[in-house]
Each structure stands twice: as structure tokens, then as C-alpha cells.
Amino acid sequence: MKADSGKRVVIVGTQWGDEGKGKVTDYFAARADVVVRYQGGNNAGHTIVFGGKKYALQTTPSGIFNPQIINVIANGVVVNPVALQGELERLESQGITDYNLRISNRAAVVMPWHSVLDGAYEEMKGGKLIGTTKKGIGPAYADKYNRIGIRMGDLLDPEYFAERLHNVLQVKNMELQMLGLPTFEFDAVFEQYRALGERFRPCICDTSVLLNKAIEEGKKILFEGAQGVMLCIDHGTFPYVTSSSPTAASVPVNTGIAPRYVDNVLGVCKAYCTRVGEGPFPTELHDELAHYIRERGHEYCTVTGRPRRVGWLDVVALRHAARVSGVNYLSLMLFDVLSGLEKVCICTAYELDGQVIDYVPSTITELERCKPVLEELPGWVEDTTTCRSVEEMPEAAQRYIARIEELTGAEVAVVSVGPDREQTILRKDFF
Ligand code: GDP
Ligand code: IMO
Ligand code: MG
């Protein structure tokens, strides 16, 4: 473990996304100079609540509300400039007009065929859908790695963009034709995306240079992840995952800084678990309990509106996420939701084919056969939304938090007791 307090903190989702990363990033942004989104795209939906207003961010970093903060969309993000423009217009209509946004010239562009292909590939899977957000994220990353992607910086050079677009369209239109889908005309795409390039020209730059300068100057930087480690392309429940790595290990390559500059990793986790989309979920609940938690936690996806699947806190998955991401502090979210339950459970191990295991199997077939080994703890009835310290909480609630620390070996530095910025308990100052 590194030193207690550091200037560069990575905020990582440790479950299947929607852990409350936006809320936590906004909370710590009050002390940050720079906030950086390092992967994913507008498949993310980060909700922030303060001053009686609610804001939904998708590609924009959660430091956008403070004009003193530089908000960076780094090279590892896939940017849909049409969606980003819409998102900024929505923010402006909510009174957020003064902000400082930078976009990496190396960030991949989500082009209009990507969402079409995302939907088409899902349909082709028959009953084995991933349940993607259909924002074109997978196809955009695939094109990047296949080296037929377009980057934000390309949009600023009309001659080069025209050449790239010609080549890319040749491949993509062939793919679309083979799938029996409408193709794209060069002129219309060229004009639209060239204009979008101009719209974002003042923001587009080499954000790696910007970040390294900020580090040299001793600035405080938050790296905001999207999704969660269990949706990681490498360490998640493949193939039911997203197409990037939300782990802290992906920050250096996705932002252009050296690994040694990451000081602390804050793992964000709900006091229980949720998942949207398909894929194994060992602690999933199906009964009235799931309904109770879903309604109290308003567990409906902000991007697609789908109800989120709900389950008990899975410490096997949490330890896995913490291990591969180097999590040294935890932020325990939606703690208020658990009030009113007779008992609360924590999954401490899995039972696989009659054997107790303490790791996440790599194959879906094995993970689907895993049954949770549950530890029961007494619940509490008292409302915790007005608590501003853990000591004010009922004893059973305090015991639940202490047990999570024992089982994970990570310190619970933050406890969140409501969606509002004010409903946050900071137990350990590390940033
Ligand atoms: P993210 O994708 O990780 O940023 O999380 P989302 O914003 O998609 O989902 C988290 C949801 O929980 C949002 O609606 C938040 O407003 C809400 N939320 C965050 N923290 C708390 C909390 O402590 N209690 C309650 N009740 N809601 C919370
Ligand atoms: P935030 O940042 C929750 C899920 C989708 C699907 C899978 C693949 O708000 O936590 P994709 O569109 O990425 O190809 O979908 O990943 N998913 C998320 N689930 N929160 C997210 O982001 C997610 N982003 C993607 O539901 O199961
Ligand atoms: Mg979300």
C-alpha cells in the first residue's frame, strides 16, 4: 500500500457498473485541479445531485460543474461527438455554461455505423444477447484495434479526414451490405463530422502533454472510470462485458501518464450489488427482497431505462476487483437503501460443484454454476440518510461496514447515505 494521501487518485467501479462513481468523483472534485475520464463512452451514465438538481453525465467528466477544474476526455475514451454535443447542450439548459473541457486528439470517434452494427451483432446472437447499451461502444473499440478507426484529431484536418473516411467507408459499407443494412454516403458523413470537428476544435489537444504538465506542477488529479471491473474486457465476466478495461491499471495507457504517478485507488461499491444486461450474477435475488431494494435504490438504468438486477454484496467479486485494480480504499454507496431489512447477507465464497472456492472462475459455465455462500448479519430499521458519521449509525449498520473491511482488507474511507453531495461521510482523508 502506498502513502495515505496522494495527489493522483483513480476512482474505479468494483462491481457491474452504476456503483455511484459520478457521485464520488463530484464529491472529491471539490479538491481536484483536473478530472479525467479514461475509458468507455456514452454507454456510461453518471448521476450527480446537488443544490436540489440532478445531472446525468455520459461522456463528460464529473468535474464539469466547477469552471476552475480542467475536465479531460482522455485517449482511452471512445467519443461520440453528436452525443457529446447533445450532452453539453443539456447541461447548458440546466445552467452549466461555464466549464473547461479538453478532448484527446487521440481519442477514437464513435461513428454512426457503430451503433447500427452494435444492434445488428446483438440480434445475430439469438438468445445469447450481451444486452449492450447499443451505443456502438464495442464496434468503435473493435475498429480502433483493427486500425480502421477515426480519431478526434483526424476531424481537424479535412484532407486527411477525407482520405481516412474513404478507406474506412469502403470496409464498413461492405460489412453493412453483407448484413443487409443500409450503407453510408461519404459526403453527408464528411460534412457532419468535419463540422463537429470544428465545433470541438478549441477543446481538442494532446491531453497526455496536459496531464504530465499538471503532474509536474503538483496538481491534484482524479481519474474517473466508467463501468466496473466485473465488466472489464479482461477481468470481467467475459463475454458479458464491455469493450474496455475500467481497472486502474488501464489509466496509464488510456491517458498517457506513467504508472508510477497513480497514488491511490478508490474502489466504488454499492452496499449490495446490481447488474444491467445479461451475464452471470451469483448473488442475484429474485423475490420480494429484490423488489424492495430495487424500489428503494431506484435501480433503473439511466442510459437505457432497464430495471437493474439486484443481489447481495458479493465479496468474492469485490476482492477480485480490488486485487486486479490495486484498490486500497473503498467507497460504500447506497448504504441508506439497506435500512428496514430484518437481515443482510454478504457472499463470502462460492460453492462450485460441491467445493467451496474463494475466487471468480474465468469461464461463464463455471461461474453460472456457482452458488453463493452467504453470511447472515442482523439488519437495522433506522433511516441513515441524515447520518454524517458512521458512529451515529445503528450498531448493526456499523457491524456490517466493519465486516466488509475485515473480508476485503480495504479500508472503507467513504460511506454514502443518499444521492446528494451532502449525504456523504468521509472517514479517511486520502486526497
Ligand atoms: P455511476 O454510473 O457509477 O456513476 O452510478 P449511476 O449514477 O449510474 O447510479 C448510481 C445511482 O445511485 C444514481 O441514481 C445516484 O444518484 C444514486 N446514488 C448514489 N449514491 C447514493 C446513495 O448513497 N444513496 C442513494 N439512495 N442513491 C445514491
Ligand atoms: P457506468 O459508467 C452499468 C453494460 C451493459 C452490458 C455490457 C456491455 O454508468 O457504470 P456496452 O454497451 O458497453 O457494450 O454493454 O455492459 N454496461 C454498463 N452497466 N453501468 C455502465 O456504465 C455500463 N456500461 C456498459 O448493460 O451489459
Ligand atoms: Mg451509471
Considering every ligand atom, which ligand is closest to the CA of 48? 1
pLDDT at 2 over 50: no
**What is residue 259's DSSP assignment?**
G
Place of cell 439486484: 310
Nearest C-alpha neighbor of 272 from the set 214, 323, 245, 311: 311
- What distance in angstroms lies between residue 338's CA and the mean position of ligand 2's atoms? 24
User: Would you state the pLDDT for residue 126?
Assistant: 78
pLDDT at 3 over 60: no
Tell me the whole-structure pTM to 2 decimals.
0.97
Buried (b) or exposed (e) across 27-46, using 16+ Cβ within 10 A? bbbeebbbbbbbbbbbbbbb
- What distance in angstroms lies between residue 46's CA and the mean position of ligand 3's atoms? 5
Atom index in ligand 1 nearest the CA of residue 54 equals 16
Q: What is the dihedral of CA 195, 201, 205, 210, to 10 degrees?
A: -140
Residues in the chain: 431
When pLDDT is averaged across residues 60-80 and rounded to a whole number, the result is 98
pLDDT digits (tens, 9 = 90+) for 378-402: 999 999 999 999 999 999 999 999 9
Give me the phi and psi of 213, to 5 degrees please: -65, -40
* 154 part of the active site: no
**Model confidence at 334, in pLDDT bands (50, 70, 90)?**
very high
- What distance in angstroms lies between residue 47's CA and the mean position of ligand 1's atoms? 6
Beta-carbon-side half-sphere exposure of residue 125 (alpha carbons within 13 Å): 15
- In this structure, the number of other CB atoms found within 10 A of the CB of residue 74 comes to 27
Nearest C-alpha neighbor of 338 from the set 297, 392, 371, 291: 297
* 46 part of the active site: yes
pLDDT digits (tens, 9 = 90+) for 191-221: 999 999 999 999 999 999 999 999 999 999 9
Q: What residues flank ligand 2, with Cβ below 6 Å?
A: 13, 16-18, 40, 43-46, 130-133, 135, 137-138, 226-228, 231, 242-243, 276-277
> Which residues line ion ligand 3, judged by CB < 5 Å?
18, 45
Pairing of strands 329-333, 411-416: parallel
- Can you list the domains of the chain with their CATH numbers? 8-103+206-426 (3.90.170.10), 108-204 (1.10.300.10)
Ligand 1 atom 13: residue of nearest CA: 47
Question: CA 415 to CA 422: how far, in whole Å?
Answer: 12
When pLDDT is averaged across residues 63-71 and rounded to a whole number, the result is 98
Please report, for residues 119, 232, 239, the alpha-carbon distance to residue 365 in angstroms, rounded to integers and kept in the order given.
Answer: 25, 18, 11
When pLDDT is averaged across residues 19-37 and rounded to a whole number, the result is 98
- Which amino acid is located at 210 in the chain? L
User: Would you state the pLDDT for residue 383?
Assistant: 98
- What distance in angstroms lies between residue 217's CA and the mean position of ligand 1's atoms? 33
User: Would you state the pLDDT for residue 1?
Assistant: 38
Question: CA 147 to CA 156: how far, in whole Å?
Answer: 19
Atom index in ligand 2 nearest the CA of residue 303 equals 9
> Of residues 26, 46, 118, 235, which has the active-site annotation?
46
Cβ neighbours for 189, distance < 8 A, ≥ 6 positions apart? 111, 112, 165, 169
Considering every ligand atom, which ligand is closest to the CA of 237? 2
Ligand 1 atom 28: residue of nearest CA: 419
